[in-house]
Amino acid sequence: MGALIDNLHLGFTTAVTFQNLLYCFFGCLLGTLIGVLPGIGPIATIAMLLPATYALPPVAALIMLAGIYYGAQYGGSTTAILVNLPGESSSVVTMIDGYQMARKGRAGAALSVAAIGSFIAGCFGTLILAGFAAPLAELAFKFGPAEYFSLMVLGLIGAVVLASGSIVKAICMIVLGLLLGLVGTDVNTGTSRFAFGIPELSDGIGFISVAMGLFGFAEIIVNLDMKEDREVFTSKVKGLWLSWPDFKESIGAILRGTFIGSALGILPGGGALLASFASYTVEKKFTKNPTPRFGEGQIRGVAGPESANNAGAQTSFIPLLTLGIPPNAVMALMVGAMTIHNIQPGPQVMSSNPSLFWGMIASMWIGNLMLVVLNLPLIGMWVQLLKVPYRMLYPAILVFCCIGVFSVNNNSFDVLITVLFGVLGMSFIKYAAEPAPLLLGFILGPMMEENLRRAMLLSRGDPTVFFTRPLSLTMLLMAAALLAIIALPQIAKRREETFVED
């Protein structure tokens, strides 16, 4: 406990410098902005800003990028409530009851419960992160290549849960991602693989190009192809404070959402999106005779998922910081950000870079505080922003994406290859294959091959090594159990329902 306080002290002294506070604020602001705006998410934004963070000190860069992610969770709820569009994928569930509340003139209550719930969840998530990180990192030092391989299998199977639709298709997307990650020079032998003799491919396909093409560009095209109706409840936002009965009604949901979110965030493959779905399902099940009913403006339907997605966003940093395994696509980008600054994500970050590690955690708490201020009193500003038509917005997004991709290596090839991935992303959308698992596979591909090779080398080609080492076996069993659970007909059906939830 004493050590934890010492560590947090170190964290706060790092985070509360003028520069780091500034970047924390900037990240939160930007996160709220892109959270509010539909059609651009944290994946595209972080990918866009990665090259720009090159010039910053590593702590400031990571503080800012983290701020974008959890800031987006706050901002997303505003759009969900006021416009009935998911500003952020994880606020899809918030739309169901939040928008109904807004239609009944209770937009203020919905917005404030979302912000307060998020704040409580954020604080709790940060505490969990601080408390769990050290023991988990301790455990990670016991990991050999076999354990790492099994952990990645578990993480990737976990990612399947995150994807909507067919499980087999989601696994296919993961495998495709793993294969795409292998393009380039093989580190062990120097053989150039799948590069078609193109020198630009010898270092592999740029991660940012893949992310931009699959997420950034494909999303813009989809948005352009469907005409949207926006009805913004601007005049009706008043009473931005939670009344006592409302608070009493929602506090239970907030706490439950926080716990669910924190737990699911730690799991590989989890994160904000899954957390909000799970929380909504729980609330719907556990509330007896709700008035108004769920789907008609029930405040718990906003409080629970919004708390859950923020807690999940926070705790999903745990696998990244302690094991070096990104649990979702945004964390995969954070790996990229750390690599740019020559930091190898994993258990050693905490010991070799303590100020970075604890500074980032402390900044998350500060960031959550900033976000409450940014979101509640300044709500009017964000509402104004929603009036900017999409036709003005997407060319700007496109410009920033293109410049971002180009500036990674000052290479035209990287920009051109995003076009290919944009078209591929469109195909995925047309065939209802979620691209998020692919991105995760893409990051893990080389790591997985490396650890598989090492493990097999150490065991002299005996594949049973993955089943005889207890830690490795445990993780493989967990992966198998996870697969079995989601494949059960009953749960598969329930899962389908959760994802199409009216």
Site for other proteins in 161-200 (CB under 8 A): 166, 168-169, 171-172, 175-176, 178-179, 182, 186, 188-189, 191, 193-194, 196-200
* Residue number, 80 or 415, with CB nearest to other proteins: 415
Residues numbered 46 to 105 that lie near other proteins (CB under 8 A) are 51-52, 55
- Tell me the C-alpha distance between 405 and 219, whole Å: 17
Residues numbered 258 to 297 that lie near other proteins (CB under 8 A) are none
Helices (H), 431-464: 436-458
Residues numbered 393 to 422 that lie near other proteins (CB under 8 A) are 394-396, 398-399, 401-403, 406-407, 409-420, 422
Residue 220 sits in the site that holds other proteins (CB under 8 A): yes
Residue 245 sits in the site that holds other proteins (CB under 8 A): no
| Residues 302 and 102 sit within 8 Å (Cβ to Cβ) | no
Q: Binder to other proteins among 5, 22, 224, 373 (CB under 8 A)?
A: 224
Residue 385 sits in the site that holds other proteins (CB under 8 A): no
| Residues 64 and 56 sit within 8 Å (Cβ to Cβ) | yes
Task: Report CA torsion sign: 236, 238, 242, 243.
Answer: negative
- Tell me the C-alpha distance between 271 and 484, whole Å: 21
Residues numbered 419 to 458 that lie near other proteins (CB under 8 A) are 419-420, 422-424, 426-427, 430-433, 449, 452-453, 456-457
Question: Least separation, in Å, of the C-beta of 408 and other proteins?
Answer: 9
Radius of gyration over every alpha carbon of the chain, rounded to an integer in angstroms: 22
* Residue number, 340 or 369, with CB nearest to other proteins: 340
Q: Which residues pair with 192 in a beta bridge?
A: 185
Residue 227 sits in the site that holds other proteins (CB under 8 A): yes
Question: Least separation, in Å, of the C-beta of 195 and other proteins?
Answer: 10
- Tell me the C-alpha distance between 328 and 163, whole Å: 11
Residue 470's CB is within 10 A of a number of other CB atoms, namely 9
Q: What is the x/- site pattern for other proteins, positions 14-53, by CB under 8 A?
A: -------------------------------------xx-
| Residues 146 and 465 sit within 8 Å (Cβ to Cβ) | yes
Locate 502 and state its tokens.
């009216």
* Residue number, 291 or 464, with CB nearest to other proteins: 464
- What is the chain's length? 502
Geometric angle at alpha carbon 454, from 178 and 154, rounded to 5°:
45
Question: Least separation, in Å, of the C-beta of 224 and other proteins?
Answer: 4
- Tell me the C-alpha distance between 49 and 403, whole Å: 10
Residue 465 sits in the site that holds other proteins (CB under 8 A): no
Question: Least separation, in Å, of the C-beta of 489 and other proteins?
Answer: 14
| Residues 464 and 455 sit within 8 Å (Cβ to Cβ) | no
